[in-house]
Structure 1
């Protein structure tokens, strides 16, 4: 029965809930989270306090770490010795704390992740900075609590003069919450704190950020982008991107990447090991060797770059794939009045200033009490010195000290403390010099008491004391920033992984595309035999071959009026005899749609001046023309955009880029062509439908077959107009005669135009309208699949209204020409222009328009 009476029945669910909540709060309050006032968890506070109690200060010899750990364990921190030792070790590591608080001697680990030596081998003492955190702790500046066995007292917080939570940061994992606070520069934080005092607490976060620029990490590196920093200061949460510092050194035969600083908390040895693994796994090309040449003078990681590799691209890949660029997730959670709170920059500075104000007030009260006690004694001593003979007589006449004290109290109206001080006074204080010293000391004490009372009575004076002490700390310990800030940069740009090398892009008639390094094409003189180009299917051929740099952009337009973007580096690379890849496999082109035009721009998103001074001209089958600023197409989207609004029975046939001063020619199936200046077409928005460019015949058969944009050329042979009919007839016609009079007369847009081909039953309708020079060849493809290559230079220039000559003999009675393509002439298939300025700037159906950026 007795045992049954001792058993108390409880609900296990409630008990587990209660016990876990108690455990959680214990972890949150007493282990894992720092106090907002001194920035310490209990273990760090106890280590520093224990070292101070040992007299283990910066002006004394080092003490064994085991002695310090034993002191802290035995008196204040009832946990494992490793928790105390590793906490002390971290406070001594210059790569862990921005401002180390422990001065260690011996092996305290390394930035490579090496473990510190055992505590019996290492020695330590407080750093001068740590002493600033403990100063005045004996002046009743902070509250003390009993230790774990109620035999000693320990401080609940340190009376720090340093905003340690900000300058050294903190990290910890509690139950249901965690903290991760970055370190900051002490000079900046103290400047912000003094600015807070000057503003009487009315300062904003933005104004504080003028002083505290960003976190400042002990390992230096570079903060890459400011958005995360700003968010962290304003909300207490944010993501800071850190990049290691690296420079490229140029040597005779190759280049080297020299890494001198790495991001905070990155293990240098693991970083080097991972780089080597990436090289072995072929994930990074261009690295031949990695060496760690770090020494006592600083960090130096040497990455040898292969001769044929681009150092800038290799470095950007290191940033992308390794911890050389990493992020620090800021989560400012600290204990405020014993409760966890998320804090912004202003909250943390306010908490620190409030703490300093309380410390100064408590210290002032303590010093005032001591000063008043001393002044009281001095008053008695001065009375005694004024009546020294009588005092001596009283003392000599007394039987014992207590009788002398009582007699003195009655004779001179003294207090017990004053009388005792007189009785205990030494004979040397009877000299005249000592008596004058007493009066001088009393006067100083009176001044001190008045000053201390003013501090207590006047808040402005109190805050000035706080500010002066902060300025003193800054003057002693302030230093320059180690971490640089790159404000404008954010995530890595895909272009960073590709050198802006010159490439040759080839596009086949059936839509296969590839890029080939320019170095694979050797230059030939005029009349050379050329070299074998792309291997294509039997019925396919290379239609376009032109230079482009890796960072250039292709704007691709389809018959349904859609615009897609393709970076040159996104085009699959292949040897010059490779087939390439279908464009439809690279873009999200709708079924039933097909690519009809390409425009190439060197710097589509960065060269604002260029895209705001150039235009795109669109032409549709129904003779509609539209002119839009290139800038409207400078914001790429993965799924493309509508480039022009088309009617259901219409389709896009050509796009060309102009500088605003081009002439435009449009030809129709019925053999008519119109010529007008592009200024006739007003500028419109991206999704506009356009205006009439050419009036077509009333019959349902007539439609536009091509558009040509003519740029004025100096010191070059002018382009000629080539027309081809569906039954194989064609001809070349000059734009202007020898006297400069226009053969194709210039009119307003919207007219029927003039005859460009005498269309008869013998010739058939017009199917192709091109601008050509003697440098071009024609690829003529029949509907039956037969292709023939014709040199343009073999075609003579004849009149505008003629029917032309037979270009191809159509053997089958019902055969017709399906398409006509302009290509580079065969002997010069390898003569690639040296730069983009040499490329023709015209565009037509299925053609490329080159820029002159």
Structure 2
């Protein structure tokens, strides 16, 4: 009992967890996820290649069931799940994932669309020809060996890798605390760089990049960003852009199509096509008619057919930016170097591979030398025996048995034990003059071979010559043209709004209280234009059919201008209220929208006429009110108000202002003033303007652009409506008091609340009251009154409330 208790240790959880996690991390770093810098293989890949080679499953033999290879690997070398082994085997056969496939496979080995491979009982596999170069010289004591998991046989710790597999096929993996992303490269380019580095050990990264231009993905494509490649090759970490190879082709009917023939590395083709089609279906951009995957056994082809007369380059740029037609690839070149994970540069990789191959050739040479020397020793013994053949035969015949004969030969003629064994085993037919000649020739060949091997071991130049020769042979045999194009700069993707915004007519409503919405024409017509979703105390100030590419300018009575492209307005049902402007720009509680205009572009000409109730007026050029970058969060000040209580009463857009236009103002006490537009100077946005009217304790109710032959309609606080000709107010100068247009009463006199221009006698006017009531008027039902009349009572203020404004009624839109 005491002996058992003595084995219990008191350890803190921190120490136990730290120790166990460190062991686990080391295991998955070295034994699962990261490649060795020498052969570029993870343990499972190395075991697959070795087991298949050992089993004779090579390129020059027939295919065998994948299940046999997987079972062989799992049973002898890799005690993990068969699915992970099969997955690794399949990946090494996929020519869209590895630049030089190490496995050849018959059957379904997956696809670029992300389709899974067939089960391993259906597929057949064998090593590819180039995989033979990974295993060449493995039986010549060139690599170290360790016992497998159950100590029944040995497995190599690294493969000879007679070509630089780590760079050629790349690697990707995630382990504990480390991840690796090494892109594939061109075999010929990498070997050229190694050969140059062999002669110039101090070569710079820039010099090596003259040979290794950049990644060479098996899927082709275009890599942009030499600076990112250079940084990656210097530090092991860098970022480049990989884009598809595309071409815009013209087709019949003034149409065009984007033809995609190469896509970025490790992009799922089916998902890419689906994403492009979703953009078409959801109308994220206007102009895509159809998306087709026309890939076949001859190669990849995706066709994006466009509509007539569209910006094909703009659509292509949008697809580059918003789909996997263009992706960023981040180099993170981590590999196991001297048993430790390390982020390595291009030069470090090449040097490590070069040193590994030099060491490998030394080991192979030592093995060959020993073998040649052993054979030379035997051949020398045989030649000596044939020169004294009669004595040798006599000695053998006099011996009791084979062992005795061997011992007698060693004792009598000073043969070594090995030589004596070879002599005793010599067959009679070889005791001819011909055989002597062959032995002498073999001895000469062996002597030459031994001399050559010894030269390799003592002369580094000879060793490097042999290595260079073998690398050149591999390059000559397996070199392929580069598939990926390298471009120095990352292209700037400029996307026009005409591409990103669909060309669609919609209905837009802006209310006085600041509610804003757009609805489809279908939703609007379904509700017959009624039930607009506004509250009782609110009413529209703008209701129009506009295009999604139009621009909306909304002016508030506090001097703030709010800009919104129509396509950015929330698309809701016509019966919904919509969004409130304060959700984005922040309006004051008593701030109201007084005017809204829509424009086809922000490069319009013309001016805005702006007037305040405290008697200021100005003209502002359209270009002075164009929005800035922060329009989504902040309103733009278009009028600097003199006092906190002052407010803007009207904003009128003048597309083609002329100096002889007439401006008319009417004050609350009933004074009217008319003067030419020329008297108002053009000012900037953040200004107050000039004096419009001479006021004392009065204020301006409204300002209108009028003509001599028009009439205006006034509404008073007592509910009286008066129609009056503009000509009743003679034109004069700005900043005067004006003339009285009401008859003054001693008791409860009339006061002007608002006035408007009557453009059409049969077009109704609407009066809004403070009881949230609307009262419609038809101007042709009223006769023109004189300057000193107070009009006709049209509203019962006790029942409907006091009037607060009068304006032309926004009629229901007629949708064609």
Is TM (by shorter chain) over 0.5? yes
Total equivalences in the alignment? 570
Aligned residue number for residue 78 of structure 1: 79
> Per the alignment, do residues 330 and 595 of structure 1 end up closer, same or farther by CA in structure 2, a change over 3 Å counting?
farther
SS for the counterpart of 1:335 is: strand
Aligned residue number for residue 251 of structure 2: 251
Mapping for residues 276-355 of structure 1, pairs under 5 Å: 276-355=277-356
Aligned residue number for residue 207 of structure 1: 207
Q: Is the 8 A contact 2:290 2:306 kept in 1?
A: yes
Q: CA deviation at 1:395?
A: 2.2
- The answer to whether structure 1 residue 812 and structure 2 residue 813 are counterparts is no
Aligned residue number for residue 439 of structure 2: 438
Aligned residue number for residue 426 of structure 2: 425
Q: CA deviation at 1:218?
A: 0.7
> Per the alignment, do residues 247 and 383 of structure 1 end up closer, same or farther by CA in structure 2, a change over 3 Å counting?
same
Mapping for residues 151-170 of structure 1, pairs under 5 Å: 151-170=152-171
Deviations 1:54-112 (A, max 9, x none): 01111111111111111111111011111111100100111111110001111111111
Q: CA deviation at 1:338?
A: 0.6
Structure 2 CA distance, aligned partners of 1:358 and 1:426?
40
Aligned residue number for residue 172 of structure 2: 171
SS for the counterpart of 1:35 is: coil
Q: Is the 8 A contact 1:224 1:241 kept in 2?
A: yes
Q: Is the 8 A contact 1:316 1:497 kept in 2?
A: no
> Per the alignment, do residues 285 and 374 of structure 1 end up closer, same or farther by CA in structure 2, a change over 3 Å counting?
same
SS for the counterpart of 2:211 is: coil
Q: Is the 8 A contact 1:57 1:125 kept in 2?
A: yes
Mapping for residues 352-751 of structure 1, pairs under 5 Å: 352-494=353-495, 578-579=598-599
Q: CA deviation at 1:407?
A: 2.6
Q: Is the 8 A contact 2:314 2:495 kept in 1?
A: no
Q: CA deviation at 1:174?
A: 0.5
Q: Is the 8 A contact 1:316 1:496 kept in 2?
A: no
> Per the alignment, do residues 267 and 369 of structure 1 end up closer, same or farther by CA in structure 2, a change over 3 Å counting?
same
SS for the counterpart of 1:139 is: coil
Q: Is the 8 A contact 2:217 2:265 kept in 1?
A: yes
Deviations 1:599-622 (A, max 9, x none): 9xxxxxxxxxxxxxxxxxxxxxxx
Aligned residue number for residue 237 of structure 1: 237
> Per the alignment, do residues 398 and 193 of structure 1 end up closer, same or farther by CA in structure 2, a change over 3 Å counting?
same
> Per the alignment, do residues 260 and 496 of structure 1 end up closer, same or farther by CA in structure 2, a change over 3 Å counting?
farther
Q: Is the 8 A contact 2:171 2:182 kept in 1?
A: yes
- The answer to whether structure 1 residue 124 and structure 2 residue 44 are counterparts is no
Aligned residue number for residue 796 of structure 1: none
Deviations 1:116-171 (A, max 9, x none): 11111111111111110100111110100111111111111111111111011111
Deviations 1:195-245 (A, max 9, x none): 10011x111111000100010101111112322222211111111211111
> Per the alignment, do residues 340 and 366 of structure 1 end up closer, same or farther by CA in structure 2, a change over 3 Å counting?
same
**Structure 1, gaps ≥5 residues long:** 500-537, 539-549, 551-565, 585-591, 600-636, 641-722, 729-762, 770-780, 790-808, 817-853
> Per the alignment, do residues 215 and 151 of structure 1 end up closer, same or farther by CA in structure 2, a change over 3 Å counting?
same
SS for the counterpart of 2:216 is: coil
Q: CA deviation at 1:409?
A: 2.0
Structure 2 CA distance, aligned partners of 1:163 and 1:295?
32
Mapping for residues 103-122 of structure 1, pairs under 5 Å: 103-122=104-123
SS for the counterpart of 2:342 is: strand
Structure 2 CA distance, aligned partners of 1:594 and 1:271?
53
> Per the alignment, do residues 597 and 293 of structure 1 end up closer, same or farther by CA in structure 2, a change over 3 Å counting?
closer
> Per the alignment, do residues 812 and 357 of structure 1 end up closer, same or farther by CA in structure 2, a change over 3 Å counting?
same
Aligned residue number for residue 733 of structure 1: none
SS for the counterpart of 2:327 is: strand
Structure 2 CA distance, aligned partners of 1:298 and 1:583?
47
> Per the alignment, do residues 814 and 156 of structure 1 end up closer, same or farther by CA in structure 2, a change over 3 Å counting?
closer
Structure 1 CA distance, aligned partners of 2:464 and 2:278?
57
> Per the alignment, do residues 495 and 414 of structure 1 end up closer, same or farther by CA in structure 2, a change over 3 Å counting?
farther
Aligned residue number for residue 17 of structure 1: 18
Q: Whose Rg is larger? A: 2
Structure 1 CA distance, aligned partners of 2:161 and 2:566?
57
Q: Is the 8 A contact 1:163 1:352 kept in 2?
A: yes
Aligned residue number for residue 633 of structure 1: none
> Per the alignment, do residues 229 and 812 of structure 1 end up closer, same or farther by CA in structure 2, a change over 3 Å counting?
same
Q: CA deviation at 1:474?
A: 0.3
Structure 2 CA distance, aligned partners of 1:638 and 1:348?
48
Structure 1 CA distance, aligned partners of 2:264 and 2:223?
9
> Per the alignment, do residues 196 and 595 of structure 1 end up closer, same or farther by CA in structure 2, a change over 3 Å counting?
farther
> Per the alignment, do residues 725 and 132 of structure 1 end up closer, same or farther by CA in structure 2, a change over 3 Å counting?
same
TM-score by length of 1: 0.61
Aligned residue number for residue 742 of structure 1: none
> Per the alignment, do residues 433 and 65 of structure 1 end up closer, same or farther by CA in structure 2, a change over 3 Å counting?
same
Q: CA deviation at 1:410?
A: 2.8
Structure 1 CA distance, aligned partners of 2:443 and 2:302?
65
Q: CA deviation at 1:569?
A: 14
SS for the counterpart of 1:113 is: coil
> Per the alignment, do residues 192 and 321 of structure 1 end up closer, same or farther by CA in structure 2, a change over 3 Å counting?
same
Q: Is the 8 A contact 1:218 1:264 kept in 2?
A: yes
| More displaced 10-residue stretch of structure 1: 480-489 or 450-459 | 480-489
> Per the alignment, do residues 7 and 256 of structure 1 end up closer, same or farther by CA in structure 2, a change over 3 Å counting?
same
Q: CA deviation at 1:358?
A: 0.7
Q: Is the 8 A contact 1:725 1:768 kept in 2?
A: no
Q: Is the 8 A contact 1:313 1:496 kept in 2?
A: no
> Per the alignment, do residues 430 and 297 of structure 1 end up closer, same or farther by CA in structure 2, a change over 3 Å counting?
same
Q: Is the 8 A contact 1:135 1:159 kept in 2?
A: yes
Aligned residue number for residue 262 of structure 1: 263
- The answer to whether structure 1 residue 66 and structure 2 residue 67 are counterparts is yes
Q: CA deviation at 1:303?
A: 1.4
| More displaced 10-residue stretch of structure 1: 484-493 or 231-240 | 484-493
Structure 2 CA distance, aligned partners of 1:260 and 1:18?
52
Deviations 1:261-285 (A, max 9, x none): 1111111111111111121111132
Structure 1 CA distance, aligned partners of 2:304 and 2:662?
65
> Per the alignment, do residues 386 and 264 of structure 1 end up closer, same or farther by CA in structure 2, a change over 3 Å counting?
same
Q: Is the 8 A contact 2:35 2:42 kept in 1?
A: yes
Structure 2 CA distance, aligned partners of 1:238 and 1:274?
28
> Per the alignment, do residues 345 and 397 of structure 1 end up closer, same or farther by CA in structure 2, a change over 3 Å counting?
same
Alignment root-mean-square deviation, CA? 4.1
Deviations 1:644-684 (A, max 9, x none): xxxxxxxxxxxxxxxxxxxxxxxxxxxxxxxxxxxxxxxxx
Aligned residue number for residue 28 of structure 2: 27
Structure 1 CA distance, aligned partners of 2:206 and 2:230?
9
SS for the counterpart of 1:288 is: strand
Q: CA deviation at 1:8?
A: 3.5
Structure 2 CA distance, aligned partners of 1:394 and 1:302?
89
> Per the alignment, do residues 727 and 275 of structure 1 end up closer, same or farther by CA in structure 2, a change over 3 Å counting?
closer
Structure 1 CA distance, aligned partners of 2:118 and 2:487?
38
Q: CA deviation at 1:366?
A: 0.5
Q: Is the 8 A contact 2:66 2:123 kept in 1?
A: yes
Q: CA deviation at 1:398?
A: 2.5
